[in-house]
Amino acid sequence: RGYAVFDLETTGFSPRSDRIVEVGVVALHPDGSVEDEWETLVNPGRDVGATRVHGITASDVLGAPRFRDVAEDLEEVLEGRALVAHNASFDVRFLTSEMVRAGRLATGAVPPSVCTMV
């Protein structure tokens, strides 16, 4: 079905204790043309972490949805696509952890990914 080039901003480095604060996805057809774009800030339900790194403040996410509230829409954008990210192992671990927490993905079900850093 194509690719989903995505990027996350997080509150820290541990998918167990940290959360996603922003998600951006560009869905591509197999030929590389853009099919869709999707992005949202996410209220992590905790401190936003290193604002100096990601530029996102607590006031930015105050009215943003929780991850569980956007998980279904995000799942639709990603479904059937190979995930592409810079440092994919980091982003895919966070994405998988949040999807499991939201009840949208079985534990251990990691989608295929391509890392642009490698």
pLDDT in tens, 39-65: 999 999 999 999 999 999 999 999 999
Q: Which two tokens stand for residue 83?
A: 């995930």
The larger pLDDT score, comparing residue 37 to residue 1, is at 37
Q: Would the pLDDT of 114 be above 90?
A: yes
Share of the chain above pLDDT 90, in %: 90
**Average pLDDT over every residue of 5-9:** 97
Q: Which two tokens stand for residue 61?
A: 């996410």
pTM: 0.92
Instruction: List 106's β-bridge partners, or say none.
Output: none
Q: Would the pLDDT of 83 be above 70?
A: yes
d(CA 24, CA 2) in angstroms, rounded, equals 17
Q: Would the pLDDT of 87 be above 90?
A: yes
d(CA 36, CA 25) in angstroms, rounded, equals 8
Look at residue 108 in the predicted model and tell me its pLDDT.
60
Q: With left for phi above 0 and alpha for psi between -120 and 50, is residue 108 left, alpha or beta?
A: left
Look at residue 110 in the predicted model and tell me its pLDDT.
74
Q: Which two tokens stand for residue 62?
A: 């105050």
Please report which residue ranges of the chain form alpha helices under DSSP H: 51-54, 58-61, 67-78, 88-101
Look at residue 10 in the predicted model and tell me its pLDDT.
98
